[in-house]
Structure 1
């Protein structure tokens, strides 16, 4: 996981061997010694800055996150009223899934999995949080899981390290949640420490061990990416593209080094002029050399017309840039990313359908990720309800919430509104859903008010005077 994290972050000089070969360069330079003397010295220049990173790996991980981030909509209980609706609303407010979905999906793509767990504090607030996949360890028998992480205490140079573990186990009676802590000696786990003493020493609020009777599922879970029967914990979306990424970096770096050495204009001067300046420096400093500063004011040879000239180097790099473009397209193809996402091809269409076909590779990939996170968010909120019933003494009806997802790709407001109106008029979508999708940023109160206004106007328009007025009556003489 750390390898793919460095690949995503652009720290390629730490993982690619050819990046480390561009490390040091030795040059012979002249250094002043005293007032009128100079001597040659060998100086080592660091060339790390010359390794250029064109990090398309980050694009591969972030495109699905961008698409899901813009498409995640409202999350609510599968009921129009009742305590379940209020509880789900409070969980969503505390968990902030819309704000944290981008980070969760990006880490999911980089690491190959991301986990989540359910939390509850003393005030009764319940929420779920995303955690790194390398902190989640399921038990071999499938009846439990550990969430483990390292905590450090002390000064910068002398820190004590501890392994914290939150262990959940299922039994016939229910779920047990246990807090453990171990002393670390280097990278090795040493003796277990009393959790109460550890909490007191570091002034921490650690939950007490609990036995939740009647709870028959873990209050944590994991979302894997493209898992197989041999890779049950998922696989990184950045696999198989690291070699192409290194070749892209190296091709661009190689051209940059050539430009650095040969791309700058060089000043060519007549031999006689060079001798004149070198002899003068020999008289002044005791050595024959010519500096660029010495040529700011020079003489003109009237007999030969010899003057200093700049020599420029014309590099032919078209093939190198074409090679880089081919490599980028190979990388995007392997990672199921549309070229439009990288800006290699025009990424806009005349309509939403045209845009969909241009981005079809990225959309198909994002929809697969979306289905996994849809199930994970529903499961997490449902587990929050289970925990509240077990600890809070409530009797909520445990069920999956409703998670609304919008279009993965943007559409013009006029096109989107036309589609929603057509669904409503065709009878396949309710008025409430239509208003919500046309105004996703409105509050619940504003949506209810708009729905009532529309219904009032429809009722007023449906009153036909021909049928609502009483029939005419002729009154004769009595």
Structure 2
């Protein structure tokens, strides 16, 4: 199969593969004035202001800002919050082997952080678990779950890469617009438009499955700053520029790429997934338009106006002429002259006119549009209420079960994302361990276990009662119970806690285990003295 030569690269090539993902990123970020023609036209006509994009620009007519109710921001963030808080610790699925510790070579040993001496802190207790923990630390994974899921939802896909370099074994997430799969699904190109020593280069990392295994290769192309044309750089110069000894490598026995792609809402028509914001652009535009139009109407008509009779107005003009002179082009009228007035024949002096601002605009339409957006994106409307509950007074104390059913729609969506995300991470862990096993056979290749916590916050009391009941009924082990009740505890603390619980259960109760017969020395009759 002929592979892409990458002698040309521009925005159109990205859009050909991934579509207009920049549009969805702007939609999420709230850069709506550049997206929606009506908003852009209002700014140009001076009807509204855009202080963020235009600075302190004053509108020609009025000073009404463009109002953005960014519902698009909540759509990816709500499942991200639910899933991110549910991802627990990562543990090895294999039993601890003392032989593995002895078989580790010096290079793998050096990848595990610790003093380089014979002290207790330098001792490796569980090699496989410590390798997995080191990968998690190098990848800073605990702080990246929310970011990964939001990017996956907004872009419609997420790329996972694995490396072993000067930073140690780690996984790294990248945006989908660097990912270009081969047409036969047997390989992938990751394309980076980057600067090296102030020169522009196109760096292509290629993985390709062949009969003898997985082939990896780094390609480098050079181009001008404003050009879409690139020319290949020879191998020796590429090694020097990239700081690599070898640009090619073959992993025998490997029939899958190390690069993992996670698609969102994948279909046959969208094999690389689709953004969760696809299809709601028009509704977001209408929401902003309705709110801004209401603000313009209020700005023009919300201020109170005073109506007076013709005789009163003539008198006010006379007083103004006396005070300001005949040269009064704006016909200013002093409000102090309205303190004492005369009535007309019908008994009217002056009347204050002000429109009912509650009738301005169609806020009900905005609510309906928001509800449509939530239903199309499988987002529970109650999830929005939790954002507003503190300010509107609708928040109330609820049990975990009540919250579950309130957020059922969002939880169903989040659970699907959770299972896919866990599988995505497990594949990346396995790929890193495969790379390490290539250099050290003592490293075991596995898909580690990833603990799951509750998506919905519940009280400490509910958490303990739920897990205690499951343990007492035999539906979960003691180790699982300890982990669930202490989700933030370290692996060392959990193992020590299990040992303490095991020792407590095995220690005999010298008093509680006794019977009345044992206290009587197993005699049928109590002991009596000779005197009796």
* Structure 1 residue 62: Cα displacement: 0.5
Would the alpha carbon gap of residues 237 and 46 (structure 1) be closer, same or farther in structure 2, given more than 3 Å must change?
A: farther
Instruction: Look up the SS of the partner of 1:239 in the other structure.
Output: coil
Worse overlay, 224-233 or 316-325? 316-325
Instruction: Look up the SS of the partner of 1:189 in the other structure.
Output: coil
Match 1:143 to one of 147, 172, 186: 186
After superposition, where does 1:35-434 map in structure 2 within 5 Å? 45=60, 50-82=65-97, 83-122=127-166, 125-152=168-195, 161-185=200-224, 186=226, 188-194=228-234, 197=237, 205=243, 208-214=246-252, 215-266=254-305, 270-277=313-320, 281=324, 283=326, 286=327, 288-291=329-332, 295=334, 298=337, 311-317=353-359, 320-343=362-385, 350-390=398-438, 392-434=439-481
Alpha carbons 2:453, 2:487 under 8 Å: kept: no
* Structure 1 residue 331: Cα displacement: 1.0
> Hey, which bits of structure 1, 4+ residues long, moved more than 6 A?
305-309, 467-471
Which string of whole-angstrom CA distances, capped at 9 and with x for unpartnered residues, describes residues 417-463 of structure 1? 11101111111211111111101112223222322222233223666
Would the alpha carbon gap of residues 348 and 148 (structure 1) be closer, same or farther in structure 2, given more than 3 Å must change?
A: farther
Would the alpha carbon gap of residues 461 and 357 (structure 1) be closer, same or farther in structure 2, given more than 3 Å must change?
A: farther
Match 2:28 to one of 8, 27, 32: 8
* Structure 1 residue 152: Cα displacement: 3.9
List gaps (5 residues or longer) in structure 2: 1-20, 48-57, 98-126, 524-532
Which string of whole-angstrom CA distances, capped at 9 and with x for unpartnered residues, describes residues 223-257 of structure 1? 11111111100111112222211111111111111
Instruction: Look up the SS of the partner of 2:232 in the other structure.
Output: strand
Map of 2:110 onto structure 1 = none
Alpha carbons 2:297, 2:360 under 8 Å: kept: no
Would the alpha carbon gap of residues 473 and 307 (structure 1) be closer, same or farther in structure 2, given more than 3 Å must change?
A: closer
* Structure 1 residue 470: Cα displacement: 11
Instruction: Look up the SS of the partner of 2:222 in the other structure.
Output: strand
Would the alpha carbon gap of residues 332 and 302 (structure 1) be closer, same or farther in structure 2, given more than 3 Å must change?
A: closer
Would the alpha carbon gap of residues 68 and 195 (structure 1) be closer, same or farther in structure 2, given more than 3 Å must change?
A: farther
Worse overlay, 261-270 or 81-90? 261-270
Would the alpha carbon gap of residues 287 and 153 (structure 1) be closer, same or farther in structure 2, given more than 3 Å must change?
A: farther
Worse overlay, 266-275 or 244-253? 266-275
Instruction: Look up the SS of the partner of 2:60 in the other structure.
Output: strand
Which string of whole-angstrom CA distances, capped at 9 and with x for unpartnered residues, describes residues 14-33 of structure 1? 11122123124569xxxxxx
Q: In 2, distance between residues paired with 1:233 and 1:336?
A: 20
* Structure 1 residue 300: Cα displacement: 5.6
Map of 1:21 onto structure 2 = 41
Would the alpha carbon gap of residues 206 and 68 (structure 1) be closer, same or farther in structure 2, given more than 3 Å must change?
A: farther
Q: In 2, distance between residues paired with 1:469 and 1:401?
A: 52
Q: In 2, distance between residues paired with 1:414 and 1:258?
A: 52
Map of 1:34 onto structure 2 = none
Would the alpha carbon gap of residues 191 and 440 (structure 1) be closer, same or farther in structure 2, given more than 3 Å must change?
A: same
Q: In 1, distance between residues paired with 2:133 and 2:208?
A: 29
Would the alpha carbon gap of residues 72 and 302 (structure 1) be closer, same or farther in structure 2, given more than 3 Å must change?
A: closer
Which string of whole-angstrom CA distances, capped at 9 and with x for unpartnered residues, describes residues 56-105 of structure 1? 11101101100011100010111242432221121112112221011110
Q: In 2, distance between residues paired with 1:309 and 1:71?
A: 62
Alpha carbons 1:381, 1:401 under 8 Å: kept: yes
Instruction: Look up the SS of the partner of 1:81 in the other structure.
Output: coil
Alpha carbons 2:320, 2:331 under 8 Å: kept: yes
* Structure 1 residue 149: Cα displacement: 1.9
Alpha carbons 1:112, 1:235 under 8 Å: kept: yes
Would the alpha carbon gap of residues 425 and 328 (structure 1) be closer, same or farther in structure 2, given more than 3 Å must change?
A: same
Would the alpha carbon gap of residues 300 and 455 (structure 1) be closer, same or farther in structure 2, given more than 3 Å must change?
A: closer
Would the alpha carbon gap of residues 445 and 122 (structure 1) be closer, same or farther in structure 2, given more than 3 Å must change?
A: closer
Would the alpha carbon gap of residues 469 and 77 (structure 1) be closer, same or farther in structure 2, given more than 3 Å must change?
A: farther
Using structure 2 for the length normalisation, give the TM-score: 0.76
Q: Name the structure where strand makes up a greater proportion of residues.
A: 1
Alpha carbons 1:347, 1:358 under 8 Å: kept: no
Instruction: Look up the SS of the partner of 1:118 in the other structure.
Output: strand
Alpha carbons 2:298, 2:360 under 8 Å: kept: no
Map of 1:40 onto structure 2 = none
Worse overlay, 66-75 or 242-251? 242-251
Would the alpha carbon gap of residues 353 and 271 (structure 1) be closer, same or farther in structure 2, given more than 3 Å must change?
A: same
Instruction: Look up the SS of the partner of 2:357 in the other structure.
Output: coil
Which string of whole-angstrom CA distances, capped at 9 and with x for unpartnered residues, describes residues 162-207 of structure 1? 3221111222232222222223443613212346546756xx6457
